[in-house]
Amino acid sequence: MLNHIRIILCQPTHPGNIGATARAMKNMGLSRLTLVAPENYPHAEATSRASGADDILANAKVVNTFEEAISDCQWLLGTSARSREFPWPQLTPKEAADKAISLSASGQEVGFIFGQERAGLTNEQLQRCDFHLCIPTHPGYSSLNLAAAVQVITYEIYQSFLANNEMELPVTQFAEKATMEEVTGLLAHFETTAIQVGFMDPHHRKKLMPRLKRLFSKAQLEQDEINILRGFLKQVTRIQS
Ligand code: SAH
């Protein structure tokens, strides 16, 4: 139930937070950590803060880009301290944990994304997510330390794991959702077609792409559906030319 869940840290700057994240994950039974372009890593402080969880660090996947980190994920859950200008489907940490556990139990790849200490996740990164989640805090000070945020979310995941394990719930069968790489391909195809057929002015894009990203996230597209849409786009450009 926990094997298909990964924690993705985007451009973390403090090695201590990377180590503390590994420890938080191991406490809660998670083992898959991806680091996107960490600023100072490997680093002695990461190893020391990981304490007994240095195996999580040793097995962490280090990649250069966000796209590489998410390409084989089927579900992305983005964490953020504040709500952004563009509203997105939201889950509470508990709802997100329950969803992740049932998806992982049925073999689907789930990624929880955490942002950089200062800036958090970019709008672009958040717009690739299926859901956003925010840890409720005192309104006057909502930003948790990165590793503390990982601890809260992984705690919820483990509680959900325990509850489902005790009840021995039957595994829910989810349709096989497309991977992020496939969705990225569809988005790029839509973008070029929209420009090519004169539906979108490349110099005045307005909000078309973020809206399409949100639409595709809500639709939870399967691979076959992506193929239909891409086949349709191909035919549209064929007729145009
Ligand atoms: N100034 C940034 C905060 C970055 S804190 C911002 O406003 O987004 C670093 C990371 O910790 C965030 O990107 C997020 O992944 C996580 N985090 C911190 N506080 C959180 C909260 N209240 N809810 C969910 N995630 C949080």
Residue-wise pLDDT tens digits, 201-224: 999 888 899 999 999 999 999 999
Dihedral (CA of 92, 97, 100, 106) sign: negative
Angle at 61 between CA 58 and CA 67, to 5 degrees: 170
Sheet holding 131-133: strands in order across? Answer: 61-63, 32-36, 5-10, 110-114, 75-79, 131-133, 90-91
| Alpha carbon of 28 to ligand 1 centroid (Å) | 20
Pairwise CA distance, residues 162 & 2, whole Å: 11
Residue 174 in any domain: the answer is no
Does residue 111 sit in the same domain as residue 210? no
CATH of the domain at 48: 3.40.1280.10
pLDDT surpassing 70 at residue 171? no
> Averaged over 165-181, what is the pLDDT?
77
Residue 213's SS3 state is helix
Testing ligand 1's pocket by substitution, the residue of 21, 77, 80, 114 carrying the most ligand atoms inside 8 A of its CB is 80
Does residue 14 sit in the same domain as residue 87? yes
Query: 134, 167, 200 — which closes off a domain?
Result: 167
- Contact between 134 and 90 under an 8 Å Cβ cutoff? The reply is yes
| Alpha carbon of 114 to ligand 1 centroid (Å) | 7
Residue 39 in any domain: the answer is yes
pLDDT by residue (tens digit) across 33-59?
999 999 999 999 999 999 999 999 999
pLDDT surpassing 80 at residue 30? yes
Residue 94 in any domain: the answer is yes
Query: 167, 201, 223 — which closes off a domain?
Result: 167
Q: How many domains does the chain have?
A: 2
User: Looking at the whole model, is its pTM more than 0.95?
Assistant: no
Taking all residues of the chain, what is their mean pLDDT, rounded to a whole number?
Answer: 94
| Count of CA atoms in the C-beta half-sphere (13 A) of 229 | 21
Q: How confident is the model at residue 86 (pLDDT cuts 50, 70, 90)?
A: confident
Q: How confident is the model at residue 160 (pLDDT cuts 50, 70, 90)?
A: very high
- Quick one: tokens of 82? 């504040």
Does residue 162 sit in the same domain as residue 184? no
Is the minimum distance from the CB of 12 to ligand 1 under 6 angstroms? no
CATH of the domain at 216: 1.10.8.590
| Alpha carbon of 142 to ligand 1 centroid (Å) | 8
Residue 9 in any domain: the answer is yes
> Averaged over 104-116, what is the pLDDT?
96
Testing ligand 1's pocket by substitution, the residue of 143, 145, 150, 157 carrying the most ligand atoms inside 8 A of its CB is 143
Angle at 226 between CA 225 and CA 232, to 5 degrees: 90
Range of the structural domain that residue 224 is part of: 180-240
Q: How confident is the model at residue 170 (pLDDT cuts 50, 70, 90)?
A: low
- Quick one: tokens of 199? 């539906």
Beta bridge mates, 7: 33, 112
> Averaged over 28-36, what is the pLDDT?
98
